[in-house]
């Protein structure tokens, strides 16, 4: 992939994207489950298709919010490009050198290294620490719920 495209992707991601480590508790599971996700939102589907063409993932259409008195939407439709897990980490590794703010991407990449390995008490502790670090960074940046 050419360097100019990586730079464009990094800039677009910093402006329109977010990184989250999700945490879920399931009824019959002893320990919480974690997952990495990145989301880029835009009303320009062509831009999201450029990301999809290079990294796959999923593109979802979101219904426009806000209606006037006649029931007509007054906001453009929006789309989201979503990557999970290793694909999200691979994307972040590609654009990392071009990001102005690297903290969240670095935490995400480090987190993904704890997936697919034997789960020990140390790995569970590391995942929880990285989850909390991402949550804190997201709150500082005003992006997402962590």
Distance, CA of 144 to CA of 137 (rounded, Å) = 10
Please give the tally of structural domains in the chain.
1
Encode pLDDT of 26-74 as tens digits.
Answer: 777 788 899 999 999 999 999 999 999 999 999 999 876 666 667 666 6
Q: Is residue 80 part of a domain?
A: yes
Q: Is residue 83 part of a domain?
A: yes
Query: pTM to 2 decimals?
Result: 0.86
Q: Is residue 26 part of a domain?
A: yes
pLDDT of residue 140: 86
Q: Is residue 23 part of a domain?
A: yes
| Phi, psi (rounded to 5 degrees) for 20 | -140, 145
Calculate mean pLDDT across residues 1-6: 89
Residue 86: how many CA atoms within 13 Å on its side-chain side? 3
Name the residue range of residue 137's domain: 3-141
Distance, CA of 57 to CA of 47 (rounded, Å) = 14
Q: Is residue 146 part of a domain?
A: no
Distance of CA 41 to the CA centre of its chain: 10
pLDDT of residue 99: 94
CATH of the domain at 18: 3.10.28.10
No. of helices (H) and no. of strands (E), the chain: 5, 4
pLDDT of residue 27: 78
Calculate mean pLDDT across residues 105-120: 95
Q: Is residue 51 part of a domain?
A: yes
| DSSP summary character for residue 63 | P
């Amino acid at each position: 992939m050419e360097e100019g495209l990586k730079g464009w992707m990094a800039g677009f991601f910093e402006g329109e994207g977010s990184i989250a480590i999700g945490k879920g508790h399931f009824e019959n599971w002893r320990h919480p489950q974690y997952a990495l996700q990145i989301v880029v939102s835009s009303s320009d589907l062509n831009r999201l298709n450029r990301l999809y063409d290079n990294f796959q993932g999923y593109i979802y259409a979101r219904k426009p919010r806000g209606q006037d008195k006649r029931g007509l939407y007054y906001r453009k439709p929006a789309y989201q490009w979503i990557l999970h897990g290793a694909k999200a980490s691979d994307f972040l590794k590609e654009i990392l050198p071009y990001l102005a703010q690297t903290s969240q991407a670095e935490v995400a990449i480090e987190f993904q290294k704890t997936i697919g390995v034997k789960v020990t008490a140390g790995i569970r502790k590391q995942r929880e620490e990285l989850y909390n670090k991402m949550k804190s960074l997201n709150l500082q940046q005003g992006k997402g719920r962590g």
